Chain A
Amino acid sequence: MNTSLLMFLAFVAVTLAITYWAARRSTGSSAYFAAGRSIKGWQNGVAVAGDYMSAASFLGIAGIIAFQGYDGFMYSVGFLVAYLTVLLVVAEPLRNAGKYTMADVLAYRLKPRPVRAMASLSTLTVSTFYMIAQMVGAGALVSLLLKDTGVTYQSAVVGVGVLMIVYVVFGGMLATTWVQIVKAILLMGGTILLSIFVLAHFDFSFAAFFDAVRHVTYTGPDGARITQDFLQPGLRYKPPYGALDLLSLGIALVFGTAGLPHILIRFYTVPDAKTARASVVWAMAIIGVFYILTTFLGFGAATIVGRDAIAKNGGTNMSAPILAQHLGGDIFFGFVAAIAFATILAVVAGLTISASTSFAHDFWTNVIHRGTERAPGEEVKVARVTAFVVGALAIFLAIVLGPTANVAFLVALAFAVAASANLPVIVFSIFWRRFNTRGAVAGLGTGLLASIVLILISPSIMTVDPPTVTGAARHLIQADPIFPLENPGILSIPLGFLGAFLGTLTGREPSAEERFNELLVRANTGLGAEKATTH
């Protein structure tokens, strides 16, 4: 029993207690899917932050900055600025006009069945892919962090999967929200503490810190010592396509976040649009501070521990935990490792509930059964079964893929689909009177297809590996990539908008245009919006 395991078990105990408490509260669709719309603004803001700051942020960005300097910080910037799109464009109209999912807004004036079917498909695609990336990451992380305790990759994946199923199946949105709140507070606490330790190492002198950042030394591939300015851009995104890839990444982040289903459904948990707005502001404060602090996490690891030592002890993703161990000993390492688990758990729970809500509400009730439930609580029951199935599938796939699988591209894919398929139809639906069902189906279809195809022919899938790379770490297609960028956003987002636009022009739909006034008034005034449940 080491400290990481102990702290992790403490987190699990707290979250299970939350789930038990949430499950005992009254049930009903609104309670299960939207926590009775009773979450307060600051609570939802913290939960949005908890839902959003994944292990890819905490461990991944710290690792990229530690190894490739400045370019990693570009992720940090994009992840925050993205919330301006959420705040200015989607959050309030969505809350005012929707019920449980983003498809509700589309279904207002378009033909509900085809639109919901496509929206559900895109939601499930984003959620499942993102989840598999998180699960593989979780398993790999556990086997590194807990290697002394005999916890294997398989048991870690099963553990994370079972916990997320328990939260979502029994506790619904209320439990998921509080798991995310607890996790966000832990993550912020750990990050602030770690940053203070890093600054203390440099006697709280920013000048000394940045001076060290500009002279990072490590061993190059040929064994020679290299001194590198880590504030210099371009260490990750190299010519000829690096600059374009960076731009494509930035666009996908800024437009993708406003189309991520697990973030969007969070705005249905608050009583009204004003509270949704307040929660975005809370989230921006927390997320912004966190991503600024990645400077200290990443550069701290690069300067204090050094690339060589991190590479020997588990690689890029271990940068932050190893930094913690170096500065605060085993107890602090245990704390940071426990935070990393909590991070993964909260994010996968959010993904699971967004996938199951979309399947139950959009596909089962509204597409298959044309908007009626045949028995009381059927929608909730279907959602619970879906959560179980999705969770089991994610566990299975993560185990089959194994800890060395190259799954980072799944995160890029999730953001690309969200930006290229979901965002265009949400925006057109709220702002364009002429928009119709054909446009929505064409937009969702084009965005989804373009993102998947462009990823399939990108260097993430198509690369010729040297023979030293073996097993699941090898790229799926051993050939030169057809599309040179890792991030398809720069092409797939315009294609998504174009698909929605051209699809709309192929026909007219008077009923959709008639009901635009209704949507416009609802979205902008909140008239007729669903209120909090009073118990």
Chain B
Amino acid sequence: MPRRHPEPEPGDLTPEVGAETDVSPLGRGGRKPAHEQTADEDRDVADWDRLASAPEFKRLLADKRRFIVPATVFFVAYFVALPVLVGYAPRLMETNLLGVNLAYLFALSQFFMAWIVAALYVRAASKWDVMAARVIEGTGEASNASGAARREGRDG
């Protein structure tokens, strides 16, 4: 691993930082609370490679990709169409419609497009939450999934 993660010297009294309480305990003997773990200290939370190749996880990724990629392509295309049409087909965009013009209606429609795509995303994402929870359960991790549970088990 190229990362340096200095091991504390025995008897190192460098105080621990960001402890659960306002008072940082002296010494590095105690455990850090789960929310203060750094990525390196958190590495053993799970067997990442096994999780990444688990079928439930692959299904989750495929499902996400099936929504996010087309949705992103769609909203970017729909948005870019506005400056392109306004800039390069101004005559067309000045067509009168409903007391205003096409340019204004198209711009206004962008707001509703954004809200609709966001709503669809939220609906799809609530399904992914369930799938993600299943991936985590499969590891035998508690569903709250912070390394704390595992670490507590090991230390105790």
Contacts and interface: CB of A to CB of B under 8 A. Distances in A.
Interface of A: 26-30, 37, 70, 73-74, 76-78, 80-81, 83-85, 87-89, 92, 99, 104, 107-108, 111-112, 206-207, 210-211, 231-234, 237, 242-244, 246-247, 249-251, 254, 274, 277, 280-281, 284-285, 288, 291-292, 370-379, 511, 515, 517-518, 520-522, 524-533
A27 B24 CA distance: 10
B19 A77 contact: no
Contacts of A112: 3
A232 B87 contact: no
Contacts of A233: 86-87, 90, 93-94, 103
Interface string B102-140: 011001101101110110011001000100100110010
A210 B99 contact: yes
B3 A377 contact: no
B101 A80 contact: no
Q: Is the interface of B mostly helix, strand, loop or mixed?
A: helix
A87 B39 contact: no
Contacts of B42: 528
29 contacts: A28-B19, A29-B18, A29-B36, A70-B86, A70-B103, A74-B86, A76-B107, A84-B114, A84-B118, A85-B72, A87-B121, A88-B121, A99-B39, A111-B2, A231-B103, A233-B94, A234-B90, A243-B88, A244-B87, A247-B83, A249-B83, A280-B118, A281-B122, A376-B15, A517-B51, A520-B52, A521-B46, A524-B64, A532-B35
A513 to B, nearest CB: 12
| The 9 nearest A-B residue pairs measured at CB | A243-B87, A517-B52, A376-B24, A518-B48, A29-B18, A376-B15, A528-B45, A525-B132, A247-B83
A370 B83 CA distance: 46
B124 to A, nearest CB: 10
Nearest to A271: B35
Given A74-B107, A375-B15, A525 B57 contact: yes
A258 to B, nearest CB: 11
A183 to B, nearest CB: 22
Contacts of A37: 35
Contact of B114 (A81, A242, A515): A81
B20 A533 contact: yes
Nearest to B112: A288
A137 B48 CA distance: 49
Contact of B87 (A99, A237, A520, A531): A237
Contacts of A377: 17-18, 24
Interface in B25-62: 33-40, 42-43, 45-46, 48-49, 51-53, 57, 60-61
A246 B83 contact: yes
Nearest to B8: A372
B100 A231 contact: yes
B103 A370 contact: no
A210 to B, nearest CB: 5
A528 B147 contact: yes
Contact of A77 (B5, B60, B111, B117): B111
B100 A210 contact: yes
B141 A521 contact: no
Contacts of A28: 18-20, 22
B102 to A, nearest CB: 10
Contact of B14 (A89, A274, A374, A518): A374
A527 B51 contact: yes
Contacts of A237: 87
Contact of B6 (A78, A107, A372, A522): A372
Contacts of A531: 34-35, 144, 146
Contacts of B107: 70, 73-74, 76-77
Contacts of A521: 46, 48, 51-52, 57, 135
Nearest to A511: B2
A157 B80 CA distance: 38
Q: Which among A73, A77, A242 has the greatest number of chain B C-beta atoms within 10 A?
A: A77
A108 B39 contact: yes
B72 A81 contact: no
B21 to A, nearest CB: 7
Nearest to B111: A288
Given A30-B18, A250-B80, A377-B17, A87 B118 contact: yes
Contact of A73 (B75, B104, B139, B147): B104
